[in-house]
Structure 1
Amino acid sequence: MLVGVVVNAFILLAMYWKVLSIQKDEEDPVAEYAAEEEVNSHQFSPATMSHFNSLNSQEWNTRIDGFNIPNSPQVQTLRNQSAVSHGEIDRVLDSTRNSNASKEETNGMPSLTKEETNGSPSKADAILDKPVEADLLLTSETKDYRSVRWKYVLWKSFVYIITLGMLIAMLLGLNMSWTAISAALALVVLDFQDARPSLEKVSYSLLIFFCGMFITVDGFNKTGIPGALWDVMEPYSQVDRASGVAILALVILILSNVASNVPTVLLLGGPVAASAAAISQEDEKKAWLILAWASTVAGNLSLLGSAANLIVCEQARRAPNIAYTLTFWNHLKFGLPSTLIITAIGLTLIR
């Protein structure tokens, strides 16, 4: 698997190096969209805490809204307080200094420079004391910010704990369906928000596709046609010979791109294992490894090779601002060499 990932990366670089190396224009909407997504994904990170005092009210509101924190009175207070920034204080100070200077010139007195104003006791000193009050205000904001952040850290920790518990339950052999739906319900309760936005992102057409695929495969298997085809290919697909392994892998590649790889495993799993078990127990293990490897890599050959490919195409077509239509031939141009090379590498390692 690791070797296959490296080989795929090299093939992608070799085929699409020019596309990947194009310098993006600063006004490119795709780059702006990516930059916006990057900003949203790094909200409330520790790196932003050191710049807390420099955030203006709009940035602060954006960070809170992007973080999906409910509009509690505490958060509303933070928003109102954050409207006072150092930049606004400086503008008030400059405006007051200019006003005092103009009045003093009108009264015949020379205007004071900023250094003179800072060095002599006058009304300007009272104005210059305002940043101290602002700093105290921002210190209070920092405490409230830290409180909100710790609540988020605690919430995030529970998310990790629930996810880890789900994985442990699956490794212990508990029912996969009940384990997954229990973890999902726990996350919904933990979020304590309406689940409708999340449910709207579910691709129900793909769910119907999967249901129909498994029903169709089961019906096709009961016709006896797959068994008859395997009876013809079985003498040439013995896993104790190199030629037999190559033919078996070729059959798996073809069927996986006709009926998808999951139905192929459902159709061939039993017959292939039984045929290999008649030779030896070690060959039975090898047969399962060949079936797993060849059917998995076969998903790279064409769009029909794996339902995951269809999911990617659907997501790419619906992507906002960067919608892309991945055609059958564009995918095959990469999938054919990738599948043949990586399948050969894997079969060699298994043998």
Structure 2
Amino acid sequence: MSPFVVALDVGGTSMKGGLVTRSGEIVRTDRRATPRDRGPAAVIATIRSFIDDLAAAGGGTPEGVGLAVPGLVTAEAALYSANIGWRDVPATDLVPLDVPVMLGHDVRTGGLAESVLGAGREVSDFLFLPIGTGIAGAMILQGEPYGGSGGWGGEIGHIPVFPEGEPCACGQVGCLETYASASAVARRYSDRAAGAPPSAQPGPSSAATVPSVTAEQVAALTASGDPLATEIWGDAVEALSLALATYTLLLDPSVIVLGGGLAEAGPLLSDPLAERLRKRLTFRDAPPLRQAALGVSAGMLGAALLGWRAAGFTDAGTTWSLDVLKSSRVA
């Protein structure tokens, strides 16, 4: 087998792993549950065994290991994650092999993959905005993810867009994530349908009289003309347009790349969002909106890039075929 790296994208619910060769061939993918309910030590043990099993499946020692992990992170250590509960975990503690290793923030690593391999491949400055259970952004500046002075850069989901709005679970009021994340869209529709007061907590409504819905169902109801769904969807689009107008005026991105579950709505989201963004930016052109190219594989592919960079190949990915990558998505 050709030389390979082990790439692992560690999420709060599941881990997506793979073996990726120097030429960008994905020779194996796998997925495992993240046992965060059993504490950080169990998560670390699962990561180590997963890496061991992937390496064994490759039939040799990997050239390196790349990991995308949530929370505050440097290339050498996972400093803190509220979702997983760990603090100050050296990268070497996560990898049972004596090979080069590099860590990356999960969203920024996905942004790196979109920059080198995907929708941002031809531009050097863009925003990668995955809209899922929450909202975070990867600021790609001069082709590289930028995390800020302390690793907090990109927390666009907690920009207050409606200062007198609904409470956010972070403790602020009116955050973008409270209106435009997939969980918020579902929660707000269920709460409003039940006549419940606004809640900061993601997930289904507590009201027993109205069944909870998913963001995908709210999107379908919006497309069919349901008045409440249309209002909730409109709030999400409005919140996004406010946050993205601010981002555009500050950093002037070439494009904005939309990813995550809510972006799967396609034109139902991107068309009205592009129009509202254009109207807000009265004296300049709005950056175009693009759909992310790599889907759920972005984090794992970004981790593969980190693994090859750890092994000394800083140009990894520049010749990889997007068609090959998209045909080998993580299950």
TM-score normalised by the chain length of structure 1: 0.22
Higher strand share: 2
Structure number with higher relative contact order (C-alpha < 8 Å, ≥ 6 residues apart): 2
Larger proportion of helix: 1
Instruction: From the CA coordinates, give the structure whose radius of gyration is larger.
Output: 1
How high is the TM-score relative to the length of structure 2? 0.23
